[in-house]
Structure 1
Amino acid sequence: MKVAAIQMVSATSVAVNLERAAALLAQAAAEGAELAVLPEYFCLLGRKDTDKLQIQEAFGSGPIQDFLARSARELGLWIVGGSLPLTVADARASGSRVRNSSLVFDPSGACVARYDKIHLFRFDNGQERFDESRVLEPGTEPVLFELPARDGRRWRIGMSVCYDLRFPELYRRYAAQGADLLLVPSAFTHTTGQAHWELLLRARAVENLAYVLAPAQGGLHENGRRTWGHSLLVDPWGTLLGQQAEGEAVVSATLDAERLAQYRSQLPALEHRVL
C-alpha cells in the first residue's frame, strides 16, 4: 500500500492552510497513495497558543472537518487530519481548553476514528518555552483503526500525535494489538527535533516491528516559529524509505506486507516479551 506523509509550513490563516493542504493531498492522490496523513495543526500555527481556541470545532461539525471529509471523498483517499482543535464538552462555557485531535476519514468522507493527544508537551531551556496544558485537555485512550487496502490486505494502524512519541508504552500497547503502522503527525520544535526526532521514530519502528509514518511541520513559519520537519516513513527494520528536510512536500513510499511478515518471522521479538 502506498502512503504519503504531507509536510507543511502552516501559516496563521486557516483558509490559506486548507488551500495548501488541498494541493498537497491532490498530489498524494495523483502519486497513487491510498492513505495521506497531514501534520499536527495543519490548519493553523497561530501567533499565540490561545489562537487555536478561536477556531475550535465541535466534533462532527465545522469547516476544517468538512474540508477533510470533502477532500477524502473527492480524491477517493483515506485522510488523517494530523490534528485540529476540538471543543471539550465540559469547557464549552469558558472555551478555555480544547482537545488536540487527529481524525481519520475514509474515501466516502466518513470520519471513522478520532484520537486525542494524550501527552502534553512542556519544554523550557531558558530561551524557548512551551506548555500545552495551558490550552489543551489531554486525551485518555489509545486508538487503533483498520484500513482495508485495495489489494484486500487490512492494515492495523495506531494513532498518536507529536510529543506522544517520547512514551514507548503507548506504541507497545499498539504492538500488542497487532499494529502494522504507527502514525506520528507532528510539529516538533527545531531544537528538540534536531536532537531526537529521527532517533525516536526509528526506535519506535524497530522495537515494535512496525512501519512508522511521521508527517511534520517543517520550516520557518509566519509566526516566527521554526519547526524541524524531516517528515519520513521508516520500515520495521529501521530503514528510512523516504524523508524531506524542510518545506512543503509529499513524502510517498510503499508499505510491504510480505516484508513486514518476514521481519516478524526472522526476529519474533514481540513474542519474546515477558513484561
Structure 2
Amino acid sequence: MNDFLAAAVQLTSSQDPEINFNAAEEQIDLAARRGADLVGLPENFAFMGEDSRRLELASDLAERCSRFLVTMARRYQVVLLGGGFPAPVGDGSRTLNRAELVDRDGQLLARYDKIHLFDVDLPDGNTYRESATVNAGQELPPVVDVPGLCKVGLSICYDVRFPELYRHLVGAGADLLMIPAAFTAFTGKDHWQVLLQARAIENTAYVLAPAQTGQHYGRRHSHGHALVIDPWGTVLADAGVLPGAAIAPVNTAHQGHVRDQMPSLRHRRPALF
C-alpha cells in the first residue's frame, strides 16, 4: 500500500439525473484539484426518488452511470467508485443496487451488487422496503488491488451493520473499506459514525464513507457526514451536512503501526466459532 489522498464525496441527489451527474462531477473535480487519488461517490449518486421512477429509468440510468464513471475517472485521473446505482434485472420490474470501481484509465476494477437490503420500520414513522423492488446480490463483495494505491474492499450502506462481511474483506486482504451510503437522518444521528468507527477499529483498516445529505423528496432525508476514518478509529475528515467531500491521507506506515500495536487480527480464533 502506498500513501495517497482519499475523498468521500457528499451529495444531495434528487430525482433529476442531469442535476445529479453535474453535482457529482463538480465534487470529483474539486477533489482531484485537492490532490485526491481515490474518490468515492455515495449510494444513489445518480438518482434519489420514487421507486416507480427509478424502475422506469433503470435501464438507461445503469448505462449512463457506467459511462459516467469511466469518463470522470479518465478526465480527472482518479480511481473512482460509483457507490450504488440501479441495474435492471429480468423484465425491468426489479433492479440490483450496484457499485462499480474504475481506474484512472476507465477500466472496470470491481463490481458489487448489494447483498443486505434495507427493510425497516423506523420509530419516526418512515418505512423502507428496499426488497420490494431490489434483488439482493448473490456474491460476497470483492477486494481489489488498486495499482499504486492499496487493496480496497467494497460494500454499500446497510452492509455496515453486518460485521462479518468486513471480516471477509479484511481476510481477503483489504487495507481500506469503502462504505458508500444514503443513511437515513433518523438512524444516522445515533448509528452512522459509531458503526463506521467500529468497522475501522475491529479490522484495523481505513474506512472511506461517501454519503448522501439533506432533503431529497417527500420525507426522505439523509444524515450526511461523509467520513474518512483511520485504523485506530480516528475521524480524519468529516464533510458535515452540506454537499462537499471529506478528504484525508491514507498512510501505509500508520496502518502498519496500528496493526502492530493492536494485533487483534492475528489473535483471532475462528476455529472456535
Task: Say yes or no: TM over 0.5.
Answer: yes
Alignment of 1:10-49 (within 5 A): 10-46=13-49, 48-49=50-51
Please state whether the residue corresponding to 1:98 is helix, strand or coil.
strand
C-alpha deviation, 1:51, in angstroms? 2.1
Which of the numbers 106, 126, 136 marks the counterpart of 1:109? 106
**Offset, 1:195:** 1.5
Amino acid in structure 1 at the alignment position of 2:232: W
- What is the aligned partner in structure 2 of residue 6 from structure 1? 9
| Partner SS state of residue 254, structure 1 | strand
CA distance in 1 between partners of 2:237 and 2:177 (Å): 15
| Unaligned stretches of 5+ residues in structure 1 | none
Matches of 2:248 and 2:56 in 1, distance apart?
Answer: 36
* Deviation (angstroms), 1:225: 1.6
2:261 to 246, 259, 266: 266
Calculate percent identity across the aligned residue pairs: 40
Runs of 4+ in structure 1 off by over 3 angstroms are: none
Q: Post-superposition shift, 1:58?
A: 7.8
TM-score (norm: length of structure 1): 0.93
TM-score by structure 2 length? 0.94
Corresponding position of 2:71: 70
User: Is the CA contact (8 Å cut-off) linking 1:119 and 1:164 kept in structure 2?
Assistant: yes
- In the other structure, the counterpart of 2:54 is 52
| Conserved? CA contact 1:105–1:113, under 8 Å | yes
Task: State how far apart, in whole Å, the 1-side matches of 2:178 and 2:218 are.
Answer: 26
Question: What's the counterpart of residue 247 of structure 2?
Answer: 252
Worse overlay, 204-213 or 126-135: 126-135
Matched, 1:188 2:186: no
Uncovered stretches (5+) of structure 2, i.e. residues with no partner: none
Shift of the 223–14 alpha-carbon distance from structure 1 to 2, 3 Å rule, reads farther
Matched positions, count: 265
- Taking structure 1 as reference, are residues 58 and 156 closer, same or farther at Cα in structure 2, changes over 3 Å only? farther
Give, in angstroms, the shift of residue 222 of structure 1: 4.0
Aligned to 1:172: 167
- One-letter code of the match for 1:140? Q
Answer yes or no: is the 8 Å Cα contact 1:11–1:223 preserved in 2: no
